[in-house]
C-alpha cells in the first residue's frame, strides 16, 4: 500500500509540473532629460478690476468708461492732471519655475503697437513699442506680484477707445 501511495503522489507531482504556465522576463531601460521651465500668469489684484482670463498668460484688464469727471469702475482710478488725466489699475503677475536653480526673475514689458497720443506706464516705468522696459528686476517665484498699469490721456483726445496689447517676458536670473 505504501508503494501505491508513493506512486500516486509521484504521479500527482508529475502532472502538476506539466500544467505550469510558461514564463519569460525582460528589462525596460528608461532615459530622459529634465528641462527647466518658467511660466507666467496674470491674476486679479485685490485692489484692481477683475481680469478677463485671470489665471492664464493671456488676460484683459478692463478700464471701462474713463474720462475727466467720470466715476471709474471698481479697482480703476482716474487722477486729473494739468491738461490730462491718468487712468490706473493694479493687476498681479505670477511667475513660476520648475527644475531650475534660478533664484529670481526679471519681468519686462513692451507695447505691441505704437501710441503717439497716450503715455503708458507699468510700475512707474514708461512702456513703449520701441523696446522692452524692466518692470521687475528681481521678482520672487510662485507668488503674485502687484503691478500697476497707468495710461495718461490728454484732455484734448477725442472720444474713442483705448486699446493696446502689452507683451510681457519673464526671464530667469
pLDDT tens for each residue of 43-83: 999 999 999 999 999 999 999 999 888 999 999 999 999 99
Q: What is the pLDDT of residue 47?
A: 97
Residue 30 belongs to some domain of the structure: no
What is the model's pTM? 0.81
Q: Is 146 exposed, middle or buried (0-12, 13-18, 19+ CB in 10 A)?
A: middle
pLDDT digits (tens, 9 = 90+) for 85-140: 999 999 999 999 999 999 999 999 999 999 999 999 999 999 999 999 999 999 99
Q: Which of 87, 65, 84 is nearest to 76 (CA)?
A: 87
Q: Is 96 exposed, middle or buried (0-12, 13-18, 19+ CB in 10 A)?
A: middle
Q: Which of 64, 66, 48, 60 is nearest to 154 (CA)?
A: 66
The domain of 129 spans 40-59+72-172
Q: Which of 54, 51, 53, 49 is nearest to 88 (CA)?
A: 49
CATH of the domain at 132: 2.60.40
**What domain count does the chain have?**
1
Q: Which of 44, 50, 121, 62 is nearest to 86 (CA)?
A: 121
Residue 29 belongs to some domain of the structure: no
Residue 35 belongs to some domain of the structure: no
Q: What is the pLDDT of residue 159?
A: 83
Q: What is the pLDDT of residue 100?
A: 92
Q: What are φ and ψ of residue 57, in 5° steps?
A: -90, 0
Give the sign of the dihedral formed by CA 82, CA 84, CA 90, CA 95: negative
Residue 128 belongs to some domain of the structure: yes
Residue 146 belongs to some domain of the structure: yes
Contact 92, 41 (CB under 8 A): no
Contact 95, 105 (CB under 8 A): yes
Residue 91 belongs to some domain of the structure: yes
Cα 26 from Cα 39, distance rounded (Å): 40
Residue 49 belongs to some domain of the structure: yes
Q: Is 9 helix (H, G, I), strand (E, B) or coil?
A: helix
Residue 26 belongs to some domain of the structure: no
Amino acid at each position: 500500500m505504501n508503494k501505491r501511495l508513493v506512486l500516486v503522489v509521484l504521479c500527482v507531482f508529475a502532472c502538476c509540473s506539466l500544467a505550469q504556465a510558461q514564463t519569460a522576463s525582460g528589462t525596460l531601460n528608461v532615459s530622459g532629460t529634465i528641462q527647466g521651465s518658467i511660466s507666467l500668469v496674470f491674476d486679479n489684484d485685490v485692489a484692481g478690476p477683475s481680469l478677463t482670463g485671470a489665471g492664464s498668460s493671456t488676460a484683459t484688464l478692463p478700464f471701462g468708461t474713463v474720462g475727466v469727471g467720470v466715476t471709474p469702475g471698481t479697482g480703476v482710478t482716474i487722477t486729473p492732471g494739468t491738461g490730462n488725466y491718468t487712468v490706473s489699475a493694479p493687476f498681479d503677475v505670477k511667475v513660476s519655475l520648475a527644475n531650475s536653480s534660478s533664484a529670481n526673475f526679471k519681468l519686462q514689458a513692451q507695447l505691441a503697437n505704437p501710441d503717439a497720443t497716450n503715455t503708458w506706464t507699468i510700475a512707474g516705468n514708461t512702456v513703449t513699442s520701441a523696446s522692452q522696459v524692466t518692470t521687475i528686476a528681481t521678482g520672487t517665484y510662485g507668488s503674485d506680484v502687484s503691478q500697476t498699469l497707468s495710461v495718461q490721456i490728454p484732455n484734448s483726445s477725442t472720444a474713442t477707445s483705448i486699446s493696446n496689447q502689452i507683451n510681457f517676458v519673464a526671464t530667469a536670473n
